[in-house]
Chain A
């Protein structure tokens, strides 16, 4: 998030797109609800009539995957109506003229055809966000899990740049990250393109720094591949991936195209999984190591607002389980890799701080109260709750990006005439390896259902509460129908939380070409009574 969570009750206009916040980030959503009681306007763009959509002054139930068209048209209206912040654009941005020209042909009438919402509603959303004194954008995976995820995010950036809604209290571009420490995994360099602290692996300076720090003369200079590519290369004779270490991820349930994923992992010579349960992924491993769980280990995690906080052990590790860092270090030592002589989580974290420019002012002892939001570039620096206050990263201008609308990887047709979109539910976390084992949850959520508009249930000859077969180009699952007006006509929804209703057998139609994030939010399907 560019802005802190405590800002969430401060905007006068909130634009929430592709975020089911009351279910996925309920505590953050309380901030938005408070903004509403103070009189803020809420615009929600989401195909589904979520709780957040019910709270909205304007709900745009756009067709899944049509976000770019909506955002282009909103920018078009903002420019046409003179609602741009010309001073901000002149001082802080570049490439505006080309963008302005690009927008001319993409008005609300054009977008209305693609998004399947009235042009007047698109116009209204643009007028409200454009006129905001403090306009804030919130989004989640409804924006990123598309083949055009990067385009979607950059389209939102264009809106914020146009209106100068960045670098101030109560504004910003605010992605609500999913997992507790997904921000931290990136911060720590567990990505193929960056070392810890987002130092690019293509940087010669960073390369030299880590060659020395890690005593690895053969360290590659340049990018590697994502997990998605790696799975595609599993078992291949030429340039293949033949051994994997997976820590705490139930890959075969969370990832799209389950069958492909299982086949990939099966083709490995050597698969080692570290987890707290024998997950579906762990079952495929040659060796499984029992990790200490949350509540059993000391450590650090970073939240969606870049706040670095301490985790503390409350009970001993279960059975013979050990902290992840210990297990990984012990394997590394046995491979003769230097630099793994850690005695505690503190040792590991302090090493990270020493190598990461955004954590340079942090150490194990000063993060106890969780007051710091990175970047913290030096000791005694107060941290950075709001990004981009005076300038953008490295003093570069904010660039307007020319983006065009693209259809999803697969669109509905005669064979697969229904849009499926997937997501999460309040009472379940991801694949339920944890919440599914918490007592009481079954009372509220015991099985997965497929949300279908009541009129579609009728028209398609289905029955509420009965099972249907739902098929995509990749597979078929059985799931129980729930007739609800949360779904719009022609679009159905289910979560991926229940392994027995594994919707990721169906998904996986395409990937964003830059991030290789899967298009989990759009999948044409056909539905028949089971």
Chain B
């Protein structure tokens, strides 16, 4: 990490931000240093996993000796610099910028199920009281309803051209599936040849959705549940698919799972997910799930039974095998998909129960 202000080199460089002197590391931006001091600088095009872009201009600050405000996200801190993050004229400029941004969008308030960052614009517009509508008029971005993919809504009328989606796809995913076409009010996020995402290099990892600050890109599976009345609750867990172990916030409304979002501070994934972690959680509450213990009947069919009956029968079967064939006639196969507690009790079931090591797992297949 370069963000270690306590290192020896850092101690030699200092910057004053809102009257507070602090040290920094060469290469750090004003925004990064300010963040460390918990300064509340607004941004829309910023995602700390991506290269600074300097597009939205909301993070402008006043630097002593420089006539015009500078974008703090792209301006490196200099030794002896004196910065004011939010003087009144800067705040006014931010409000105007937000009014202009807001004027282009069909709606400012979007459902939080759209995506992880989807509330950023509405939060700032509310904070700055930027709903004046005084720039209402021309709009940019055309919503693409032709793309029938079941995962990503491409509602570009809500797009503010921050390019976070394009940049996360390129810089974070290395997929370069989407790009920016045209300029000014004609700006449009698109794929090569304007194809549907399915026919592009898109892997449906959903990273564009989760970094979009306006909900222009939205999680189509999650927004099916917008009408459910309960509050969204997030539970931090780890993806159940491959062994990378990405941290996920599973979203629920009441007892219903309504979506998944990547955990930006997940130690293994740092905000990344793939299509499986992002979009395939809904096997959990699928109607094919087993609800009750099943016992096979003489005709080969299964009958639902109560737990006690099934557990007694299961135990009796193992006891009978032990009595008839000996303790080495029983084998256990543990799961590489279930948690530790399952694997641990499985091996103990065999070792403590029968005194053998007749236990294995699915790693050989």
Contact = CB atoms under 8 A, between A and B. Distances in A.
Interface of A: 5-6, 22, 24-30, 33-34, 36-37, 55, 176-193, 195-196, 201, 210, 214-220, 222-228, 230, 239-249, 251, 254-256, 269-270, 272, 275-278, 282, 285-291, 293-297, 299-305, 307, 309-316, 318-325, 327-332, 334-335, 337-340, 342, 345, 348-349, 351-352, 369-371, 426-427, 429, 433-435, 437-441, 443-444, 515-518, 520
Nearest to B306: A320
Contacts of B128: none
A309 B174 CA distance: 27
B220 to A, nearest CB: 8
B347 A314 contact: no
B47 to A, nearest CB: 14
Contact of B288 (A6, A186, A278): A278
Interface residues of B, number: 113
A179 B333 contact: no
B338 interface: yes
A182 B338 CA distance: 9
Contacts of A288: 290, 293-294, 302
B331 A244 contact: yes
A405 to B, nearest CB: 23
15 contacts: A190-B343, A195-B351, A243-B318, A245-B330, A276-B283, A285-B296, A286-B313, A289-B290, A291-B290, A310-B238, A314-B250, A315-B284, A352-B340, A437-B282, A443-B148
A295 B237 contact: yes
Contacts of A370: 238, 245, 247, 266-268
B92 interface: no
Contact of B343 (A22, A185, A286, A351): A185
Q: Closest 8 CB pairs between A and B?
A: A319-B291, A303-B245, A299-B339, A248-B335, A33-B174, A440-B150, A270-B317, A182-B336
B8 interface: no
B284 A178 contact: no
A277 B274 contact: no
Contact of B321 (A192, A269, A314, A332): A269
Contacts of B344: 188-190, 196, 325, 348-349, 351-352
B56 to A, nearest CB: 24
Nearest to A305: B268
B321 A270 contact: yes
A42 to B, nearest CB: 12
Nearest to B357: A224
Interface stretch (B35-43, B69-77, B198-206): B198-206
Given A311-B238, A314-B250, A332 B268 contact: no
Nearest to A181: B336
A99 B312 CA distance: 58
Interface in B103-127: none
Contacts of B363: 178-179, 182, 185-186, 191, 517
Contacts of A179: 241-243, 336-337, 362-363
B336 A244 contact: no
Given A37-B174, A370-B268, A318 B289 contact: yes
Contacts of A329: 345
Interface stretch (B10-18, B79-87, B208-216, B252-260): B252-260
Nearest to A318: B289
A422 B348 CA distance: 34
Contact of A5 (B244, B283, B337, B362): B244
Contacts of B284: 293-296, 315, 318
Given A278-B288, A314-B250, A330-B311, 14 more contacts: A25-B243, A33-B173, A190-B344, A220-B357, A301-B339, A309-B245, A311-B237, A319-B290, A323-B342, A335-B318, A345-B341, A371-B267, A429-B242, A438-B281
B67 interface: no
A249 B276 CA distance: 19
Nearest to A237: B325
B337 A241 contact: no
Contact of A224 (B274, B293, B359): B359
A270 B242 contact: no
Q: Output the residue of B149, B242, B291, B314 with the most chain A CB within 10 A.
A: B242
Q: Output the residue of B267, B349, B361 with the most chain A CB within 10 A.
A: B361
A180 B269 CA distance: 14
Contacts of B337: 179-181, 248-249
B223 interface: no
Contacts of A224: 356-359
A295 B342 CA distance: 15
B58 interface: no
B330 A314 contact: no
Given A224-B357, A304-B245, A438-B282, A331 B334 contact: no
Contact of A251 (B221, B296, B324, B333): B333
Nearest to A339: B352
A438 B285 CA distance: 10
Given A270-B317, A324-B345, A351-B344, A312 B338 contact: no
Interface in B270-301: 270, 272-277, 279-286, 288-296
Contacts of A276: 283, 289-290
Interface string B142-158: 00000011110000000
